[in-house]
Chains A and B, each alone.
Chain A
Amino acid sequence: MTLLQVDGLTRRFGALEALADVSIAVNEGEVFGLIGPNGSGKTTFFNVVTGIYPPSLGRISLGGLDIGGMPPHRVSKHGLARTFQNLRLVPQMNVFDNIWLAQHQRPGMSLLDILAIGGRRERSRRHEVDTLLEKCGLADMRQSLASDLPLPDQRRLEIARAMARNPRLLLLDEPAGGMTPLETQDVARMIREVAAPGRTLIVIEHKMDLISDICDRAAVLHFGAKIAEGTPAEVLSDPQVLDVYLGKQADHA
């Protein structure tokens, strides 16, 4: 069953077409990879889907509900959570509070719950945060300020925070960005074992081994247009994709 259905999505910034007629369907329970060179429109895709920018054209529906053009806080309420490529933690709050805050506005939360500082339900929610910290290997840093964590832990904290919202669809923007191969393996395990079960994921990543490792399917964006879609193996052997990536490597040399 399709969870996220994107049809003919276009987003322009002045004369620049950051997304050009992109159509993607992501099935329930799937881990979907989004790849492409820098500036190919991947993050813009996330920004439009999460409501940060309204689409210029096209439809976005989440489980049959049209979410195109909704403000971010409403999109988020319909069960969508994301992480950010350039890390957006609240630096002056500790690890626990960063996650605890994210439980805000889950279904069933009332104004009273927002003001609560005790009570049975609040205690169980706090316990949930601790369980999540445990699962994500962040329990030791529970009380540390978010800004004091090393980068890999900050990335994991972002993923844990997104999960605290119990989203139906989780968007991860370069979860292994700036990490060493070993740290990348770590985060891959966390995504596979903690984030993916029972959830639908879209992952932006440059590291192809990570994509092949965790994704069921993937799509490739290039200059805002989708140029390939399929299993990671299919996509990575697509001649057009190879051309884009080899071309990029040649530029770097």
Chain B
Amino acid sequence: MIDFIQNTLDGITIGAGYALLAIGFTLIFGVLRRLNLAYGPSIMIGVFLGTFIYLHFDAGWLPVAIATVIGAILAGIYVERMCFWAIKEGAALASMVSTFAIWMQLEELVTVIFPERTYKFPTLGEMDYLEFAGLEMRAEHLIMLGIAVLMVGLLHVLLYRTRFGLSVRAVSENPAAARFMGINTGRVIFRAFILASAIGGVAGFLLVATDPTVTPKFGLQATFKGLIAMMLGGMGSIPGAIAGGVLLGIVERHMQAEFGAIMRDMAAYALLFLFLIFRPGGIMAQGVAAREAAALRRV
């Protein structure tokens, strides 16, 4: 029993990182209705920039974190300009394949500059385990959870209390109407991209700092973890992204503990597959009303 609770707890903390990735994905999908496969790889650019200043300047975790976020934003801007801004509306497939091409490009760029298989990344410092009623928790996990909650709170304020948030929601709801109301959709998309990349940068930093090895496969992992978590929660929904991330974290953790790494990944994909078949709207789907609305949009 105590193991079960422990694993669940660990799952939630990892899941918080996944949730942040999924939020970034969902934000971009919301304003663009297109999939950004290069999301994980652009975060990876940030992570490697962080590694770089850590190895060459022996920087502490805070400058590394800042470098990670900046790197992710710069790579995100590159992706947005190449794959979304430049490709006209109606060519969603071209956009998606283009993000894949850029992904390949970024991944190879990183392997050329960083030829070793793995690199070290700073931790949040040597910290003790916190113990409580037989459960233990790594302090940096607790910090990670705290930062994730803080980020979600900030994001909520940004989306529901600011003019920028209003325009993001308007574009997500109905881009044509938003444009008609004088919203510069291109600029909103650009800014949403920067926001998503920054969130992704924080998520990337937290995930790598608690498991401090960096590999070029990080891009692939980040893309797929974020994608699965987003789909589990329901595309375009931020509460869904959080729920999806946490669910993914918990399931992965339990499967890992019981059956090992292959079954962990298998379970993640099986869960995704089952959700898509039986509940494609995700955890937060709204049933009949949403389906009727979709039917109205068909013609």
- The answer to whether any beta carbons of A and B sit under 8 Å apart in the complex is yes
Inside 8 A of B292's CB, which chain A residues have their CB?
A: 13-14
Q: Are B299 and A43 in contact (CB under 8 A)?
A: yes
Q: Are B289 and A52 in contact (CB under 8 A)?
A: no
List the interface of chain B (C-beta within 8 A of A). 289, 292-293, 295-296, 298-299
The smallest C-beta distance from A198 to any residue of chain B, in angstroms, reads 29
**Prevailing SS type, chain B contact patch:** helix
Asked if A23 CB lies within 8 Å of chain B CBs, one says no
Q: Are B299 and A14 in contact (CB under 8 A)?
A: no
Inside 8 A of B296's CB, which chain A residues have their CB?
A: 13
Asked if A53 CB lies within 8 Å of chain B CBs, one says yes
Inside 8 A of A43's CB, which chain B residues have their CB?
A: 299
Asked if A47 CB lies within 8 Å of chain B CBs, one says yes
Inside 8 A of A47's CB, which chain B residues have their CB?
A: 299
**1/0 per position for A181-215, CB-CB distance to B under 8 A?**
00000000000000000000000000000000000
**1/0 per position for A22-44, CB-CB distance to B under 8 A?**
00000000000000000000010
**1/0 per position for A1-29, CB-CB distance to B under 8 A?**
00000000000011000000000000000
A108 to B118, CA, bound (A): 66
The smallest C-beta distance from A11 to any residue of chain B, in angstroms, reads 10
A52 to B296, CA, bound (A): 10
A14 to B292, CA, bound (A): 7
The smallest C-beta distance from A69 to any residue of chain B, in angstroms, reads 14
| Closest A residue, CB atoms, query B296 | A13
Q: Are B289 and A13 in contact (CB under 8 A)?
A: no
Q: Are A14 and B289 in contact (CB under 8 A)?
A: yes
11 intermolecular pairs with C-beta atoms under 8 Å apart: A13-B292, A13-B295, A13-B296, A14-B289, A14-B292, A14-B293, A43-B299, A47-B299, A52-B298, A52-B299, A53-B295
| Closest B residue, CB atoms, query A54 | B295
A3 to B228, CA, bound (A): 52
The smallest C-beta distance from A23 to any residue of chain B, in angstroms, reads 23
**1/0 per position for A112-144, CB-CB distance to B under 8 A?**
000000000000000000000000000000000
Inside 8 A of B299's CB, which chain A residues have their CB?
A: 43, 47, 52
Inside 8 A of B289's CB, which chain A residues have their CB?
A: 14
A52 to B298, CA, bound (A): 9
**1/0 per position for A42-59, CB-CB distance to B under 8 A?**
010001000011000000
The smallest C-beta distance from A150 to any residue of chain B, in angstroms, reads 21
A13 to B296, CA, bound (A): 7
The smallest C-beta distance from A170 to any residue of chain B, in angstroms, reads 18
| Closest A residue, CB atoms, query B295 | A53
A14 to B299, CA, bound (A): 17
The smallest C-beta distance from B85 to any residue of chain A, in angstroms, reads 25
A52 to B299, CA, bound (A): 8
The smallest C-beta distance from B173 to any residue of chain A, in angstroms, reads 17
The smallest C-beta distance from B292 to any residue of chain A, in angstroms, reads 5
Apart from A13-B296, A52-B298, A52-B299: 8 A-B pairs, beta carbons within 8 A: A13-B292, A13-B295, A14-B289, A14-B292, A14-B293, A43-B299, A47-B299, A53-B295
A47 to B299, CA, bound (A): 8
The smallest C-beta distance from A175 to any residue of chain B, in angstroms, reads 17
A43 to B296, CA, bound (A): 12
